[in-house]
């Protein structure tokens, strides 16, 4: 019941705070907005009661994970605020929109099955999906959700490519095991005793593929979090072709990878918050399922939702773009000025 109450409060806040539902374009406005809404991600409702999943829908637990980190480390919010301020100031003073291809190395920890043949098949598909989404522009000529080409004209190519790390004979696989039936607690899968610890997070992006229980969904760490926990945790039903209907094109990891590299969800840390990108509309919540042509955000003046953006949550077939602003933010994070630059030095 508490989960339903929280959901209603989120939607109500999104409607009543309509005056804040416009993208904030200066560093001072953006930081002030974060500070005004800090209370919304800093309460003490038990986490386990906030993460109940309803069958058939994809969830991301980044917001809940952030709250837990706040409780474990009181400096977490200050670190987040500092990163957002530095990012806003950097993007204001310099362009990071283009450049040569950036290559990043991935390490996978498979804790959901011991079927190596199946893992290798799905891993090939997943790598192709990542490199497609971060390295190509596949924007349809027409889209009923964007009849005036307002959003498709903003599409841009991050020009980022992914390879498997040179470990275990170049396979990029750190461990294959099925020691736990389901994982219900954040970061347990990263422990030596029960799971698989991250391998050299200063060089590699670590990804854990695991079976999750009713109280845990896919999530990722941020550049300012503990290095011993750094990486992405992906629910096994969304890996590769996956086992979840409608989420079979590998785009769950595309979303999480962008989170890991520094993009916020379109709704920010909470409903109707700014994502820190100038050319995306503010969303009141994730989009569920197959969005129609008139999906409107309840934030601010009611902008049309950007349901085709990888940082929303539509079915995979409906997602196909990052914006120019998102690409610039991604490339800043991986530039010599950014917090993820160390990942490019392999």
Q: The CATH number of the domain where 226 resides is what?
A: 3.40.390.10
Res 28: pLDDT: 52
pTM: 0.86
When comparing pLDDT for 86 and 52, which is higher? Answer: 86
User: What per-residue confidence (pLDDT) applies to 41?
Assistant: 42
Residue 10 predicted with pLDDT over 50:
no
State which residues form the domain around 108: 2-344
Number of structural domains found in the chain: 1
Q: Alpha-carbon distance 249 to 126, whole Å?
A: 8
Q: Which residues contact 55 (CB under 8 A, 6 or more apart)?
A: none
Q: What is the mean pLDDT of residues 165-194?
A: 93
Q: In whole angstroms, give the CA distance from residue 58 to residue 286.
A: 10
> 145-149, long-range: CB within 8 Å, 24+ apart, which pairs?
145/291, 145/292, 145/293, 145/295, 145/304, 145/307, 145/308, 145/318, 146/304, 146/308, 147/293
Q: Which has the higher per-residue pLDDT, 297 or 119?
A: 119
Mean of the pLDDT values across residues 14-36? 41
The predicted pLDDT at position 52 comes to 62
Can you tell me the mean pLDDT for 330-341? 98
Judge whether 81 and 141 are in contact, CB under 8 Å: no
pLDDT digits (tens, 9 = 90+) for 239-296: 999 999 999 999 999 999 999 999 999 987 777 778 989 999 988 888 888 887 777 7
Average pLDDT over the chain reads: 85
- Supply the pLDDT for residue 35: 45
Is the pLDDT reported for residue 27 higher than 70?
A: no
C-alpha closest to that of 55 among 297, 244, 294: 244
Q: pLDDT for 58-97, tens place per residue?
A: 999 998 999 888 888 889 989 999 999 999 999 999 999 8
Q: Which helix (H) or strand (E) holds 155?
A: strand 155-156
Higher local confidence (pLDDT), 20 or 171: 171
Q: Can you tell me the mean pLDDT for 213-229?
A: 91
What is the structure's pLDDT at 36?
39
pLDDT band at 220 (very low <50, low <70, confident <90, very high): very high
Q: How far is the CA of 191 from the CAs of 197, 223, 227, in angstroms?
A: 5, 20, 13
Region 156-166: mean pLDDT is 97
């Amino acid at each position: 019941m508490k989960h339903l109450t929280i959901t209603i409060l989120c939607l109500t806040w999104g409607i009543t705070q309509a005056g804040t539902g416009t993208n904030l374009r200066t560093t001072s406005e953006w930081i002030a907005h974060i500070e005004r809404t800090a209370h919304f991600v800093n309460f003490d409702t038990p986490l386990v009661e906030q993460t109940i999943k309803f069958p058939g829908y994809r969830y991301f637990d980044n917001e809940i994970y952030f709250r837990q980190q706040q409780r474990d480390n009181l400096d977490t919010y200050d670190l987040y605020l500092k990163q957002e301020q530095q990012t806003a100031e950097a993007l204001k003073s310099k362009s990071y929109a283009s450049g040569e291809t950036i290559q990043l190395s991935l390490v996978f920890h498979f804790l959901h099955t011991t079927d190596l043949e199946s893992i290798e098949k799905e891993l090939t598909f997943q790598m192709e999906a990542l490199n497609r989404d971060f390295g190509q522009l596949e924007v349809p000529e027409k889209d009923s959700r964007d009849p005036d080409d307002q959003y498709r004209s903003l599409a841009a190519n991050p020009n980022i490519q992914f390879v498997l790390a040179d470990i275990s004979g170049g396979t990029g696989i750190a461990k294959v095991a099925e020691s736990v039936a389901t994982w219900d607690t954040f970061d347990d899968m990263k422990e030596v005793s029960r799971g698989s610890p991250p391998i050299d997070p200063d060089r590699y992006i670590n990804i854990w593929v695991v079976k999750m229980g009713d109280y845990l969904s896919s999530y990722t760490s941020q550049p300012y979090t503990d290095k011993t926990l750094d990486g992405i945790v992906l629910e096994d039903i969304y890996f590769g072709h996956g086992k979840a209907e409608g989420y079979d094109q590998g785009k769950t990891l595309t979303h999480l990878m962008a989170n890991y590299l520094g993009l916020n969800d379109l709704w920010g840390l909470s409903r109707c918050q700014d994502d820190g990108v100038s050319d995306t509309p503010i969303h009141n919540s994730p989009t569920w399922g197959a969005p129609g042509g008139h999906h409107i955000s309840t934030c601010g003046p009611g902008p049309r939702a950007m349901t085709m953006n990888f940082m929303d949550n539509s079915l995979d077939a409906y997602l196909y773009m990052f914006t120019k602003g998102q690409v610039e933010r991604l490339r800043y994070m991986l530039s010599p000025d950014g917090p993820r630059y160390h990942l490019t030095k392999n």
